[in-house]
Amino acid sequence: MRCKWEFRVSAGRPPLDAVSVVIVGSAGPGFARRMGARGITVAQTSEQDPGKAVRDYLAGTLAPPAPHEHHHGHGDHDDACNCGG
């Protein structure tokens, strides 16, 4: 997915408080954990069209995420890179 949303809030309720699902191309366990703590579902997909991804999510047919190839070299892997690998 090539969409990126950025929120800046000066006062009031943070925009993420109104979100129940985020649909992403990839997400590490740290991101998923932080979103889960806010009650937000993280749905990963290989779908590149954002509109189709939303329609497919709502229909329960969202394509699974693409396999993550782990080429950025970690010794004993930890959550520092947030890649989930």
Examine residue 61 and state whether it is found in any structural domain, yes or no.
yes
Answer yes or no: are the C-beta atoms of 17 and 38 closer than 8 Å: yes
How much is the average pLDDT of 4-16?
68
Which carries the bigger pLDDT value, residue 50 or residue 14?
50
Q: What is the pLDDT of residues 26-69, one digit of tens each?
A: 999 999 999 999 999 999 999 999 999 999 999 999 999 988 76
Check whether 8 has a pLDDT greater than 70.
Answer: no
How much is the average pLDDT of 13-30?
89
Answer yes or no: are the C-beta atoms of 26 and 44 closer than 8 Å: yes
Examine residue 52 and state whether it is found in any structural domain, yes or no.
yes
Range of the domain at 54: 20-66
The amino acid sitting at 60 is G
SS3 11: coil
Examine residue 11 and state whether it is found in any structural domain, yes or no.
no
Give, in order, the Cα–Cα distances in Å from 4 to each of 33, 70, 71, 74, 75: 20, 23, 24, 27, 31
Which carries the bigger pLDDT value, residue 74 or residue 56?
56
Which carries the bigger pLDDT value, residue 54 or residue 74?
54
Query: At a CB cut-off of 8 Å and minimum separation 6, what does 51 contact?
Result: none
Q: How many domains does the chain have?
A: 1
Examine residue 71 and state whether it is found in any structural domain, yes or no.
no
pLDDT for 70: 61
Taking the C-alpha atoms of residue 71 and residue 50, their distance in angstroms, rounded to an integer, is 27
